Amino acid sequence: MNGSVELEASPAQALSAQDYGGSAQAIQYHYDVNREFYRLWLDESMTYSSALWEKGDDLVAAQKRKIRYHLAQSHADDARSILDVGCGWGGLIRLAADLPSVERIIGLTLSEDQAAYVRGLGLEKAEIRLESWTEHEPELPYDSIVSIGAFEHFTKPEDSTEEKIAVYRDFFRRCASWLTPDGRMSLQTIAFGSMKREESSLFINNEIFPASDLPRLDEIAAAADGIFEIVQVRNDRLHYARTFEMWAQNLRSRHTAAAALVGEEVTKKYERYLKQSSMGFYMGKLALYRVSLRPISPRWATMAAA
Amino acid sequence: MNTIAIEVTEQQEKIDADVIESWCVNYIARTLDIPPDEIDPKDEFHTFGLDSAIATAMILDLEDWLRIDVPPSVIFEQVTISNLVVDLMIRLKMVESGRKVA
């Protein structure tokens, strides 16, 4: 974020300008806890989003299956360039780097630790930028855009529904403008299911994910309307229930090591958050959407292509 | 009712199915502020008006007390206190036999 914003605006305006589309402070609060702590309960690829389970899968296989799903939905097999909005600890980037046609992968994150970690992997095709999608200016168009588990951070609990849709729409508009006409996008996000926004858990809102609010499916659809065609939507909430359950079990079995790293209180807080999230997905209060999108083009031949 | 007792703590506390059942009944009664005798262990959890936060707190406390894993999926498979207790007793026995082997 450049300093001119602070010089030109009041502190409140500067803060809201910095927070637009996802607060870096809020992201760092959650993701920069301690990488070794996350390593205790995530799988070896450090993938911190819902897996895609099939019979016989362990967590590693189910996370790989999820990444391959998004690579397929975004047509990454034929892509030369890929953008990953919210790249986490690089799980997707690592698999995308193995695709023969791919020449360049740009990963965006607001977490300093994640950026440092993925840069340290030494992936020649990958460039990691510590910047928000609101600041991103691509040098070349992308053939594929993937965003997994970032959308949840784009808006804040105090935003009105109209404001939320406007932010999501801004995101979709930018993504569409960054894509080649035949490009594809794959999005994964948690959303409110049967639960109303007012029923949000204060514990999760204040202690776990401050300054973040979830979308509803109709808000995603309204935001994409006229910009992206929605090709496919899956609600894989039970996949996330199982993923959270697995993480909770991993953390509990490594409780002592976790408490040594981040303290007893934070460890307990995470055990509760992981279990409660699993419950929310089992109950259907929360949804997990995987949305496949293609940009709407005025060109007939583009729209008619498979 | 199952009468097998299992020693689960250093204090040699006897934990049997009846103890766990009354613990669950009292937990829910206390949390929701309703008389324990209004809670039928054969009723499904959702009928008591439990939410995900309370259900989570309950299984976390059960884990601390019994020193076993209680994954959230258990209360969606064993949807009454009575069924949950049967499941917990099996988990306790498995852990107990594991401890003896170890």
Quick: pLDDT tens for A175-207: 999 999 999 999 999 999 998 887 777 777 766
Q: How many domains does chain B have?
A: 1
CB spacing of A245 vs B55 below 8 angstroms: no
Q: Taking the model in full, what pTM does it have?
A: 0.89
| β-sheet with A142-148: strand ranges across | A126-129, A104-108, A81-85, A142-148, A179-192, A286-295, A228-235
Record: contact A280-B71, CB cut-off 8 A:
no
Q: Is the pLDDT of residue A9 over 50?
A: no
Closest CB from B63, B69, B72 relative to A282: B72
What's the rounded mean pLDDT across residues B18-24? 96
Give the 3-state DSSP-derived string for chain A, with helices as H, strands as E and coil as C: CCCHHHHHCCHHHHHHHHHCCCCHHHHHHHHCCCHHHHHHHCCCCCCCCCCCCCCCCCHHHHHHHHHHHHHHHCCHHHCCEEEEECCCCCHHHHHHCCCCCCCEEEEECCCHHHHHHHHCCCCCCEEEECCCCCCCCCCCCEEEEEEECCHHHCECCCCCHHHHHHHHHHHHHHHHHHEEEEEEEEEEEEEECCCCHHHCCHHHHHHHCCCCECCCHHHHHHHHCCCEEEEEEEECHHHHHHHHHHHHHHHHHCHHHHHHHHCHHHHHHHHHHHHHHHHHHHHCCEEEEEEEEEECCCCHHHHHCC
Q: Nearest C-alpha of chain B: how many angstroms from A216?
A: 20
Cα(A184)–Cα(A228) distance, rounded to whole angstroms?
Answer: 9
Q: What is the rounded distance in angstroms from the CA atom of residue A91 to the CA atom of residue B90? A: 38
CATH code of the domain containing B12? 1.10.1200.10
Predicted confidence at residue A207, as pLDDT, reads 67
Q: pLDDT higher for B22 or A10?
A: B22
Domains of chain A from N-terminus onward: 18-34+56-237+285-305 (3.40.50.150)
Give the distance from residue A130's alpha carbon to the nearest chain B alpha carbon, in angstroms: 35
User: How far does the CA of residue B57 sit from the closest CA of chain A (Å)?
Assistant: 7
CB-nearest to B52 from A245, A248, A279 is: A279
- pLDDT number for residue B87: 96
> Is residue B1 assigned to a domain?
no
B56: chain A residues, CB-CB within 8 Å: 272, 275-276, 279
What domain range includes position B30?
6-96
**B13 assigned to some structural domain:** yes
- Closest among A193, A220, A188, A218 to A282, alpha carbons compared: A193
**Are A241 and B57 inside 8 Å of each other by CB?**
no
Among chain A residues, the shortest Cα distance to B76 is held by A282
Please indicate, yes or no, if residue B36 is contained in any of the structural domains: yes
Name which of B41, B36, B61 is nearest B1 in CA terms.
B41
B102 confidence band (pLDDT: 50, 70, 90)? low
Strand partners, A146: A84, A186
Look at A203 and B52 and tell me if their CB atoms are within 8 Å. Answer: no
- Tell me which chain B residues have a C-beta less than 8 angstroms from the C-beta of A244: 72
Q: Which of A201, A253, A282 faces B76 most closely, judged by CB atoms?
A: A282
Using the beta-carbon criterion (under 8 Å), do A272 and B52 form an inter-chain contact?
A: no
Q: Please report whether residue B89 resides in a domain.
A: yes
Query: Would the pLDDT of B11 be above 70?
Result: no
In a domain, B101, yes or no: no
Tokens 């340290």, residue located: A120
| A285 CB within 8 Å of a chain B CB | yes
Mutate to test the interface with A, among B46, B56, B95 (most CBs of A within 10 A): B56
Q: What is the mean pLDDT of residues A237-242?
A: 98
| Mean pLDDT confidence for A161-188 | 97
Residue B102 within a domain: no
